[in-house]
Amino acid sequence: MIAKDSIHIFLQEIVTGEKASLFEYVELTEVSRFFVEKEKQLTELYYYPFYKEVNNKKYLLIYDDYKRQLKSLTFDSETFKSPIPEYQEKSLKKYIEQYNQSLTGEIKVYVADDNKVKYDLDVNLGSENWNSPYLNMSNEFTYGIGLRITLPRRFQNRYFRLNVFMTPGLTIRYDNTYSEKITLKTFEAAMGSYIGSGVIRPYLGFNYSGVYRNYRSTFLGMHGGISYKRRLNLEVGHLANFYSVFGESEFFNKPRISLHYMISIDNLFKK
């Protein structure tokens, strides 16, 4: 972590070595900025495009001072002759590794924890609602379990999710003389993204859901909510149903309100 003008940013370590280490900072726009640490001095590698107007014409220019900076940072190795790399993680990583190896004969690579796909067990409970000609629910207790898959690094806000929700004690009436109690089983597949990088983040996604034995019509639409550390999510589900144009359900339906707690599967199996 570094501080500059009272602003704190968190850097991801890409390569660590005895002489130099490489770090990356990913902005909200998913643009990467790179930093090199040498002799306990952290230096940002400058590279950015900008527009300049000349004679009423705009030109795209590239400020690539990182090339000069890298030459200055690696001047102390007489055997290091690698060409200046592109301003990309893979190229810069290889460059710093080769520089460290030229001085120490060894390469030490830090494998970042968030450079991996993450798996979380989704345990949830909430209040289920639905209005349709065949099934009406109003604030019925529901619970469920699922799997959330979070993408690595610059895409770490994005996720895929599979869930099963169960709503017990519902009465289904087939006609005036016959009814039965069931546990409604709802299966969902979703994808979405958290927004921002704070401790508290909103999120929004798109999902499909269907019900065992077709007690309820299919849903294809949006879900969203607010999250604390991406571990505790308060979610509003199946609010707007785009599948309603093919069936008898309403487009705007009373939503499911649920609380989701994410348990890291990776941590459960760590030795």
Does 141 share its domain with 251? yes
Q: What is the mean pLDDT of residues 254-263?
A: 94
Could you tell me the CATH number of the domain that includes residue 240?
Answer: 2.40.160.20
134-177 pLDDT per residue, tens: 677 889 999 999 999 998 866 778 999 999 999 998 887 777 77
Q: Which of 90, 111, 132 corresponds to the end of one domain?
A: 111
Does 88 share its domain with 124? no
Does 248 share its domain with 164? yes
Does 125 share its domain with 257? yes
Which range has the top average pLDDT, 21-25, 167-171, 232-236, 254-258?
Answer: 232-236
Mean pLDDT of the chain, nearest integer: 86
Q: Enumerate the β-bridge partners of residue 222.
A: 206
Does 231 share its domain with 132? yes
Name every residue whose Cβ is closer than 8 Å to that of residue 200 and which is 6 or more positions away in sequence: 226, 227, 228
Q: Contact, 36 vs 74, CB < 8 A?
A: no
Domain that holds residue 11: 2-111
Structurally, how many domains does the chain consist of?
2
Among 138-147, 200-209, 229-238, 241-250, the range scoring the smallest mean pLDDT is 241-250
Confidence at residue 214, expressed as pLDDT on a 0 to 100 scale? 80
- With b meaning 16 or more CB within 10 Å and e meaning fewer, what string describes 119-155? bbebebebbbbbebeebebeebebebebebebbebbe
54-110 pLDDT per residue, tens: 888 888 889 999 999 999 999 999 889 899 999 998 899 999 999 999 988 765 555
Higher per-residue confidence, 135 vs 265: 265
| Alpha carbons 249 and 251: distance in angstroms, whole number | 7
In the predicted structure, residue 17 carries a pLDDT above the cut 50: yes
Does 28 share its domain with 84? yes
| Alpha carbons 237 and 209: distance in angstroms, whole number | 10
Q: Contact, 1 vs 8, CB < 8 A?
A: yes
Instruction: Kindly report the number of other CB atoms within 10 A of residue 176's CB atom.
Output: 6
